[in-house]
Copies of this chain bind each other. A is one copy, B any other.
């Protein structure tokens, strides 16, 4: 669960970004994103797995070009790496932590239950922004989509959840990060978790969740928002593994840069 906010503090931004594959297209998104933070912010990149999103130093260059004063990148290989005092000290001084991974479960199992996970939750509650890029975006959620199958139709067993970092329980984020066929995974996730909104994000595009739980879209692409509040029917509890799941009466929004959506009241602003 997210740490409690003090009465005079407000939580930091939670930023779910698509894959950064194309640095040139992502540059503008980063500039606008960093402009939301303190001037000349310090940024820590926490990564695991093989860099799925191009050259590592390229990301640091991109962040510096976008206005970051300092950047530091830590590649986690073991859970002990998530207890490093130097990393924890850097996070105490950062305005933004950016998560990167080749798959959500690798990073979540390196972080989960460590001092790093507690520091990220506490610092986010104190006002520090946390961003997840590509597959790492899934980690921001309390219930994280760890694995998901391809296709437009949700199937029994096609989506698997694992505990995420838990900065928000308002959304579940497609772990594909940039994949065009996110529909089946989002529907499968909502069949299991009809409390949350489903969120799928194009490459070079970001969904920024403010302290007021208003989501705003930045970047060149679009995001898919699926709202199960009025879900009428789902047979997820009854069907056999691999069978298609019936799920009716969801609300769908395709949003683009500038769109704002209130996650608490579930309406466009």
Contacts and interface: CB of A to CB of B under 8 A. Distances in A.
Interface in A212-269: 220-224, 226, 232-233, 235, 239, 243-257, 259, 268
A153 B199 CA distance: 12
A222 B153 contact: yes
A251 B251 CA distance: 5
A247 B254 contact: yes
Contacts of A223: 153
Contacts of A226: 252
A101 to B, nearest CB: 21
B268 A232 contact: yes
A35 interface: no
Contacts of A200: 152
A268 B222 CA distance: 29
A142 interface: no
B256 A248 contact: no
Interface size on A, as a range, is 35 or more
In the complex, which of the residues A150, A152, A239, A246 has the most CB atoms of chain B within 10 Å of its own CB atom? A152
A252 B254 CA distance: 12
Nearest to A183: B183
Interface string A100-137: 00000000000000000000000000000000000000
Contact of A181 (B181, B202, B257): B181
Contact of A252 (B150, B221, B251): B251
A165 interface: no
Given A153-B222, A180-B151, A183-B152, A245 B249 contact: no
A153 B221 contact: yes
Nearest to A246: B256
Interface string A134-169: 000000000000000011111000000000000000
A12 interface: no
24 contacts: A151-B202, A152-B179, A152-B180, A152-B183, A152-B200, A153-B224, A154-B222, A154-B254, A180-B181, A180-B183, A181-B181, A222-B244, A222-B245, A235-B256, A243-B256, A246-B254, A246-B259, A247-B254, A248-B268, A249-B251, A249-B252, A250-B252, A251-B251, A252-B252
Given A180-B183, A222-B244, A248-B268, 15 more contacts: A152-B180, A152-B181, A152-B222, A153-B221, A153-B222, A154-B222, A154-B254, A244-B257, A245-B254, A247-B253, A248-B253, A248-B259, A250-B251, A250-B252, A252-B252
